[in-house]
Amino acid sequence: MGVGRFPRGRISPRVSVRSHHWGPIIVALRGKLDWESVESVNGSLREHQTERDVILDVWNLTRCEPAALVAILQAAMVRAENSRRGFALVGEPSWTAMDAIEANPATRSLVHCRDTHAACVALRRVPA
């Protein structure tokens, strides 16, 4: 098994969605995130990004492949810009993932917060 790869047969990250009628939709990931799960996570985000602002919560990821997270964030940020909706990341996936996010010009401007309340406040300030 190579570095950054997860064993075959593992379960993709569990995705839960919660929202209130007054705020952003929160898409929370739990488990392991790798390249094999990018499309399913993107699908979940895509489903909700036309409705309202979206917060991606990664606090409960147990393992995270940095390049996979960057790909998800980059696609979500493009969709948010195109739909004039806000998008934010909540949590600390890993120091390597944060380095990858900050190193990528497309994700460098990401709204990143430690908790969902701070993300809600930050999204209210993001110009539409």
Using one digit for the tens of pLDDT, what is the confidence trace for 82-101?
999 999 999 987 778 888 89
| Predicted confidence (pLDDT) at residue 20 exceeds the cutoff of 80 | no
Question: Whole-prediction pTM value?
Answer: 0.85
In whole angstroms, give the CA distance from residue 27 to residue 125: 20
Place of tokens 């990143």: 112
Residue 9, CA distances (Å) to 12, 32, 36 in order: 9, 12, 11
CATH superfamily of 14-125: STAS domain (3.30.750.24)
| Predicted confidence (pLDDT) at residue 5 exceeds the cutoff of 80 | no
In whole angstroms, give the CA distance from residue 28 to residue 84: 22
In whole angstroms, give the CA distance from residue 119 to residue 110: 11
